[in-house]
Chains A and B, each alone.
Chain A
Amino acid sequence: MSKTIIKLEDISKQYRLGVVGTGTLSHDLNRFFAKMMGKEDPTKKVGVSNRLDTVDGQYVWALRDINLEVGEGEVLGIVGKNGAGKSTLLKLLSRVTAPTTGSIKVRGRIASLLEVGTGFHPELTGKENVYLNGAILGMTKREIDSKYEEIIEFSGVKKYAETPVKRYSSGMYVRLAFAVAAHLEPEILIVDEVLAVGDADFQKKAIGKMQSVSRSGRTVLFVSHNLTAVEQLCTKGILMQNGTITLRGGVHDITTAYKKISVNENDLKRSGTGLIRFQEYKMTNLEGQKIDEVFLGEDFIVSTVAKANEPIDYTDLSLDIRNDSNEFVGHITNADDLFEIKKIDKGDTFSVSVTVKNISLAPGTYYISIWLGNSYGTMDYIENCIRFNIKQGDKFILRPYPFDKRAKIVLQSKWNFK
């Protein structure tokens, strides 16, 4: 195992909610008196864990008990939804703010690219800004002197080096700023979403630069919502949810897990009159266990529970199946089986389940939408609420290599030779 470069022990970070203003002084006094009396800081108790939508305390823990070790030369991807605590973690590492509890131990110099061009002054020339920005990022004047030519060359704004940067186009500005940052040589590089700016060319250049940084044995921490970039760059990853690390491991496990939670937790698109509403829905195997994966050719069950808010004469229920590219690939409805759902009293709940037989869609990821309605219109429709994978297996087709990605459905076949 390589040497540990960064070690986080029991790191937590607490933020106060709401506006700093009236009340802050009294809180400060409370803390002060508690400290004088030798009691625990009263505000540390009332914090709620980080759930952005269920906030009832006045303090919130943006990070809670984070323990993490990063080895030398590791390129660690940090993924998680907005508000999961990724940026707070990077802020602590880059010393923009301090943790509430715990300690961070580091070997070597940290440089953070939380945003390129920090401290650029519009009135200064390109050259002056290279020096200023380089110094802000932690380089000495000597280091910048020795790299100046390289930086200017990389940025491609050589002709304008003596022009104030306020006359630059935004593209030139970003290129120059990134060039400075790219020529830092820290042992640890922290990158947060900087690749979101700039055109495709620039992004390619930036990713290439970061790859070469990691190949040279330096440690990189990379936060991004761009999973492709994360998979390209990182070898390991952590998944953050509500201020804690919920999963750590290889980068592909992490991105897969992230895709899963981002479907489950995203606000689902729901429409309809609401005369009947779905209350539960799940996908199970024939034994009734919840699943999110089936082998090609297997059966599975989708079961729903719904409640009528008004008396209903009759309703239909249907499932739409879409693939990863949002193409509509399958449709099932109760009428297919001449099955009827009718005469439901107000306030009644009912459950409907459907067994899908011999699934023959090409292996891949699919989404099921569920619909309740009749000739008067849609009563409840929840889009893409069930996500599942179809795996090739050996039930339906026996070829020992992966199914052709261009094909959308799988046809069973019997071969003869004479």
Chain B
Amino acid sequence: MENTITTSTTLPEDDWSMIIRPKRGLLDINMRELWNYRDLIMLFVKRDFVAKYKQTILGPLWFIIQPLITTLMFTVVFGNIAGIPTDGIPKILFYLSGIVGWTYFSTCLNDTSQTFVKNASIFGKVYFPRLALPISIVISNLVSFFIQFVFLLGFLFYFMAVGSDIAPNINVLLIPVLIVLIAGLGLGFGIIISSLTTKYRDLTNLVTFGVTLWMYATPIIYPMSGIPEKYRIFVLANPMTPIVETFKTALLGVGEINYMQLLYSFGFTVAVLVAGVIIFNKVEKTFMDTV
């Protein structure tokens, strides 16, 4: 016992628990610190969740109302009026499966892209690992994704019961990987944008309609088979395309999974995420001076 006391009082002179310097290395990311703040991340998730639906009558029902109405609208406009084919899959199921995956991506991107600007008042007062906020956003959106996913499964079973030609297959095992990819892409792009917008707000204007445009470059409202050969390359260059395609194929059983394309998405996600964390890490130290 006495031994421990003496060792703690005779700390070596350079035994600092923290050193603050103007700049840090590109990859000097303190993941352990982030882990120490995991309780904070979960409390942020809870806050987002509770705050969103307090004082609403329908409460969490809103999680499924949004994709449901969008699906109905797409069914009427693109399916019935424009007559875009859906590869023989019931229209509602076709659109809903695309929308559920896409919504997770777009909410992750939109919400995390405002990390610095929206939370400047908290960030200006107290320190905690800034990455805790975008991560908590991705997790709380994951919760709504799951609710919507279960809703989607409900429709899937209904259509299977009435005898539609759909066949979920072994590829559903890939879905957890797809979810990680979607989260990673959304988070990566989101924190890059939020880092860049601390000084220049121009990007904020771009994000809102940029994400909408991006959706049209992803096979959500049309099937991959419906794309003319000369445009194919552009749609395939979009890292979300293989993810959405795999998601649909796994659940609905049409089309084929191209593992090379999926690998491309994976590589893209890793690159964006690494770039995002590096940029975010560089900006977070001094963003309060410019935000």
Within 8 Å by CB of B39, from A15, A100, A114, A140, lies A140
Mark A1-45 against chain B: 1 for CB-CB distance below 8 A, else 0.
001000100000001100010001100100000000000000000
| Cβ–Cβ contact B19 & A118, under 8 A | no
A118 touching B199 by the CB < 8 A rule? Answer: no
Q: Which residues of B contact A95 (CB under 8 A)?
A: 20, 127
Q: Is the CB of B39 within 8 A of A135?
A: yes
Among B40-48, B169-177, B239-247, B272-280, the stretch that binds chain A is B40-48
Q: Tell me whether A364 is interfacial, beta carbon within 8 Å.
A: no
How close is B223's CB to chain A, nearest CB, in angstroms?
42
When the two chains form their complex, are residues B126 and A94 in contact, meaning their CB atoms are under 8 A apart? Answer: yes
Residues of B within 8 A of A121 (CB): 47, 51
Q: Is B230 an interface residue (CB 8 A)?
A: no
- Contact A123:B54 (CB < 8 A) given known A15-B289, A118-B122: yes
Nearest to A108 among chain B residues (CB) is: B17
Asked whether A96 and B128 contact (CB < 8 A) given A20-B290, A141-B39, the answer is no
Give B37's nearest chain A residue, CB to CB: A135
Nearest CB of A to B128, in Å: 6
A132 and B286 contacting across the interface, CB-CB below 8 Å: no
Whether B288 contacts A97 by the Cβ 8 Å rule is: yes
Do residues B125 and A114 form an inter-chain contact, with CB atoms below 8 A? yes
B268 at the interface (CB under 8 A from A): no
In residues 1-54 of chain B, which contact A (Cβ within 8 Å)? 9, 11, 15-23, 36-37, 39-40, 42-44, 46-47, 50-51, 54
B46: chain A residues within 8 A (beta carbon):
128
Of all chain A residues, the one with the shortest Cβ separation from B13 is: A4
Q: Which residues of B contact A28 (CB under 8 A)?
A: 199
Are B20 and A106 neighbours in the complex by a CB distance under 8 Å? yes
State in angstroms the CA–CA spacing of A108 and B11 once bound together: 12
Q: Does B123 contact A (CB under 8 A)?
A: yes
**Cβ A20 vs Cβ B199 within 8 A:** yes
B200 within 8 A of A: yes
Question: Would A106 and B17 be within 8 Å (CB), given that A25-B200, A128-B46 are in contact?
Answer: yes
Q: Chain A: which residue is nearest B198 at the CB level?
A: A20
8 A-B residue contacts at CB 8 Å? A96-B127, A99-B20, A103-B21, A105-B19, A115-B125, A135-B43, A136-B128, A138-B128
On A, residues with C-beta under 8 Å from B are 3, 7, 15-16, 20, 24-25, 28, 91-110, 112, 114-115, 118-119, 121, 123-124, 128, 131-132, 135-138, 140-141, 164
